Structure 1
Amino acid sequence: MSVDTVSLTGWGRTAPTTAVRFRPRSYEEAAAVVRGRGPRGVIARGLGRSPGDAAQNAGGSVLDLTGLARIGGVDAAAGTVRCDAGVSLERLLRVLLPLGWLPPVLPGTGGVTVGGAIASDLPGPDHRRAGSFARHVSVLELLTADGEVRTVLPGTALFDATAGGLGLTGVILGATLRLRRVTTGLMSVTTERAGDLDDLLARFTAGGDRLPYASAWVDLMARGRAAGRGILTRGEHATPDMRPAHAGRTWLPKRSGGAPGRPRVPSLPPLPAGLLGPGAAALYNEVRYRGAPRARAAELRPLPAFFHASDALPDVRALYGRAGLVRYRFALGYGQEETLHRVVRRIAARRSPAVRAVLQRFGPADPGLLSFAAPGWSLALDLPAALPGLARFLDGVDEEVAAAGGRVCLAKDSRMRPETAAAMYPRLAEFRELRARLDPAGAFRSDLSRRLGL
């Protein structure tokens, strides 16, 4: 096991703090770190893709689980696979897809570990059908504060606290996942341009869930009648009858071929290095919007190009300046569309340079006590952390979202106030009570948990 002292941030590169990082190669080494923790406690960390401070622990210990990355064989009869928490979703996809299987939920990047996906209870673009990631876990192994490994099953209080619990109930060491069967490695994709936010929401709901995967890029620089315009992308798994004449029988990638298809991304103009300005962001968004087809159906794309297109792009964080970026994701229930309109108009009026903004539609709430997804709409956007007045502006958006019964995603957060989190998550008291019983000495702590009083 390697040990070093490092300065860590989330993916957004805000608020760096220093901790002792341990990299265990076995469950026994991980348990030894938990038993020997110091007064500042310990938190698990995967690939560091959480934008905020959920996987940081100032003055304490951080347990880097990327060395625990074994994948077991697929149980074809049960449709399951057992894997360690440090396995990335990209690697899991690369191993499973040639066998005709998919991970249960695929979020917008493959650079997330299985443990991180459970601890954040990540939703994907088919949440209305599939729910979030932890809903497809049939069993998990959890290292608790006493240094023991527990087998945790769905439907138990400990499972519901761990799913979306941000690593605060223990260290997820491994899990058995229920998989999805596919017959090809391609997606049939429909793309539509929407002229404003009302048009975009209407296109989302038109046709129900015939195409189960759906997400939209929103132009948050557009104002007036065009406010909230965007590009809606929907998809379904291609079937063998859709294949061209030269394709093979099942049309799945070969295992020896490495990653199952490099994501193909549209040609977009370059952005200047350093802090994004409103002018550059507006031009970028205009070109992106105008470059999209008004309507295109049944385009066949390799599966990673549909789910993980951004992973093929260069690291964009340098564009946001040395202070990093703030990823802000919130959800609002159905019937609160006017609040969504107001927030979009507020961002556009402020001329905040937003080039990444993703709108999704959620289905039934997940059972996790702190799970983010609930029926309604979710909007995620990135903003330069150095924008003047950004903290005050987002505090105001927090208040509007909370007043409408919505919530901000804890797994993405880097700046919310504790009273706001308590107002948004009605089961937080239940989570705190269970955590106090399970871990009275506070073995598992993070910068996020201290900041929000979780």
Structure 2
Amino acid sequence: MVSVSSWGRLASWEHEVQSLSDRTGLTKPLPGRLPGLAHGMGRSYGDVCLNPGHTLWKTTSLDRFISFDETTGHLVCEAGTLLRDIQRLTISRGWMLPVTPGTQLVTVGGAIANDVHGKNHHVFGTFGESVCRLTLVRTDGSVIECSPADHAAWFAATVGGLGLTGVIVTAELKLRRVAGPWLDTETVPYASLDEFFAIADDSEAGWEHTVSWIDCLGRGYQRGLFMRGNPSNVTGMPEPRRRSKVMPFVPPISLVNRLTLRPFNMTYFHLNKWKAGSGISHYEPFFYPLDSLHEWNRMYGPKGFFQYQSVVPRSVGHDAMHAMLREIAKSGQGSFLAVLKTFGNRMAPGMLSFPQPGVTLALDFPNRGEKTADLFDRLDAIVREARGRLYPAKDARMPRDLFEAGYPRLPEFLPFRDPGISSALSRRLMGH
């Protein structure tokens, strides 16, 4: 048994960890005691990637490229392949993943199971929309090949299915053409939610990537920085040196606290406001700014942290975001990692996919016990009234009624579950 925690480091639980490395042998009984759960890089924040007291099938050794067609951009790979490795292989050949989340240190299988999204939802949707086909192995040894056209219901259950329909073994992905690794970018400061929504609306037609940082501690204001980018035709620029640092230890208390948050947010806003304007950026620092600091989750101290990400319909987005930010500022809790962005008017491919048309807010919160739980209860009430939902990939404490209300296709999904697969999240929100 091995102690395993998720990225939020809220707790560590004992698991029987079994490594999967041979995709051809997975039709035999999977190793370990059932129920099991596929586990990639463990970058989910809460308990969707954990299976306390039971088996985790570690997939990071299933990391082989199987084929790549440089004329069509179709890539076939094993599910443990990192998004980082795909990008670094294909971008020099004129191709890039259409959708990636805020870190590229996740596996293809994890990206599919959580149907991750990026900064360009209004253009390319979710990760699942770039999946042409996948191979799913069930714990009874059966193999299901599915796509949007073949066994489409299995595909819709597995994309965003939280790893509960089987073990994803391989996937075929459709990449998009790019001239190179560069982006034309622009940073626009804003001083209110009204300004944010105006900039977001104006940006959708002309900009592929749109996202904003917002100061979550502002009382009476909602200032922030809106960042947008387009693939650039610039060529011949030297690749930047990849420099990464490591958070070397877990401090005795969270470095994100009342003493540090307000001055950091003020300094970050004014420095970037001063540097606002147009520029050219390499894709890695633009898409994955935190990947250059390994183990950054340690900064939240020994009690770990939560991430709370919600999406609410656009029709009530302004009022709901204002109410949530007011509660957060009043509580004095929050983070300098506060992201506000809009989702496009498109339906996600999975039965349990998180994105829906509207506006989404994501924040990290140091674990302060009951104070944090009380704040989340107040935020839940706002999301519930707005008919929104929370993101299971980030969640560690969502109430079951909010999950059921936010994911109306849950009854449609449940028959596709593999009875030999379970997780801490599924037991908490689905009963088994």
Q: Fold match, TM over 0.5?
A: yes
Q: Separation in 2 of the partners of 1:157 and 1:416? A: 26
What are the superposed Cα offsets for residues 63-122 of structure 1, whole Å, 9 maximum, x if unpaired?
A: 000001011332133221011110111111111111111012121111110000000000
Gaps of at least 5 residues in structure 1 are: 254-259, 266-270
CA contact (8 A) 2:244 2:294 kept: no
CA contact (8 A) 2:244 2:293 kept: no
Q: CA deviation at 1:60?
A: 1.0
Q: Separation in 1 of the partners of 2:408 and 2:16? A: 34
Matched, 1:237 2:237: no
Q: 2:50 aligns with which of 48, 56, 59?
A: 56
Matched, 1:38 2:33: yes
Which AA in structure 1 matches 2:278?
A
Which AA in structure 2 matches 1:344?
L
What are the superposed Cα offsets for residues 232-274 of structure 1, whole Å, 9 maximum, x if unpaired?
A: 110001114xx5xxx3xxx586xxxxxx753899xxxxx9872
- With over 3 angstroms needed to count, the CA separation of the structure-2 counterparts of 1:71 and 1:261, relative to structure 1, is farther
Q: CA deviation at 1:387?
A: 4.5
Matched, 1:147 2:145: no
RMSD: 2.1
Matched, 1:175 2:171: yes
TM-score, normalising length from structure 2?
Answer: 0.93
CA contact (8 A) 2:18 2:32 kept: no
Match of 2:214 in 1: 218
Q: Separation in 2 of the partners of 1:133 and 1:315? A: 25
Match of 1:89 in 2: 83
What are the superposed Cα offsets for residues 316-349 of structure 1, whole Å, 9 maximum, x if unpaired?
A: 3232121101011000111112011100111011
Match of 2:365 in 1: 383
Q: 1:416 aligns with which of 398, 419, 422?
A: 398
Q: Separation in 1 of the partners of 2:163 and 2:42? A: 13
Matched, 1:114 2:114: no
Q: Identity over the aligned pairs, expressed in percent?
A: 34
Matched, 1:302 2:302: no
Q: Separation in 2 of the partners of 1:230 and 1:313? A: 23
CA contact (8 A) 1:183 1:252 kept: no
Match of 1:431 in 2: 413
Matched, 1:447 2:424: yes
Match of 1:268 in 2: none
CA contact (8 A) 1:192 1:295 kept: no
Q: Separation in 2 of the partners of 1:343 and 1:353? A: 11
Aligned residues: 422
Matched, 1:329 2:329: no
Which AA in structure 1 matches 2:265?
N
Q: CA deviation at 1:427?
A: 0.6
CA contact (8 A) 1:184 1:252 kept: no
Which AA in structure 1 matches 2:332?
R
Q: Separation in 2 of the partners of 1:183 and 1:252? A: 14
TM-score, normalising length from structure 1?
Answer: 0.88
Q: 1:281 aligns with which of 261, 268, 291?
A: 261
Q: Separation in 1 of the partners of 2:122 and 2:244? A: 26
Q: Separation in 1 of the partners of 2:178 and 2:104? A: 18
Q: CA deviation at 1:148?
A: 2.4
- With over 3 angstroms needed to count, the CA separation of the structure-2 counterparts of 1:135 and 1:313, relative to structure 1, is same
Which AA in structure 2 matches 1:350?
S
Match of 1:346 in 2: 327
Is the deviation greater in 376-385 or in 140-149? Answer: 140-149
Q: Separation in 2 of the partners of 1:38 and 1:387? A: 33
- With over 3 angstroms needed to count, the CA separation of the structure-2 counterparts of 1:393 and 1:233, relative to structure 1, is same
Is the deviation greater in 196-205 or in 212-221? Answer: 196-205
Q: Separation in 2 of the partners of 1:14 and 1:173? A: 29
Q: 2:353 aligns with which of 371, 382, 395?
A: 371
Gaps of at least 5 residues in structure 2 are: none
- With over 3 angstroms needed to count, the CA separation of the structure-2 counterparts of 1:183 and 1:316, relative to structure 1, is same
Alignment of 1:129-168 (within 5 A): 129-155=123-149, 156-168=152-164
Aligned with 2:109: secondary structure? helix
- With over 3 angstroms needed to count, the CA separation of the structure-2 counterparts of 1:314 and 1:65, relative to structure 1, is closer
Matched, 1:72 2:49: no
CA contact (8 A) 1:121 1:133 kept: yes
Q: Separation in 1 of the partners of 2:190 and 2:99? A: 27
CA contact (8 A) 2:331 2:375 kept: no
Is the deviation greater in 285-294 or in 110-119? Answer: 285-294
Q: Separation in 2 of the partners of 1:412 and 1:378? A: 13
Q: Separation in 2 of the partners of 1:318 and 1:341? A: 30
- With over 3 angstroms needed to count, the CA separation of the structure-2 counterparts of 1:419 and 1:355, relative to structure 1, is same
Q: CA deviation at 1:201?
A: 2.0
- With over 3 angstroms needed to count, the CA separation of the structure-2 counterparts of 1:353 and 1:137, relative to structure 1, is closer
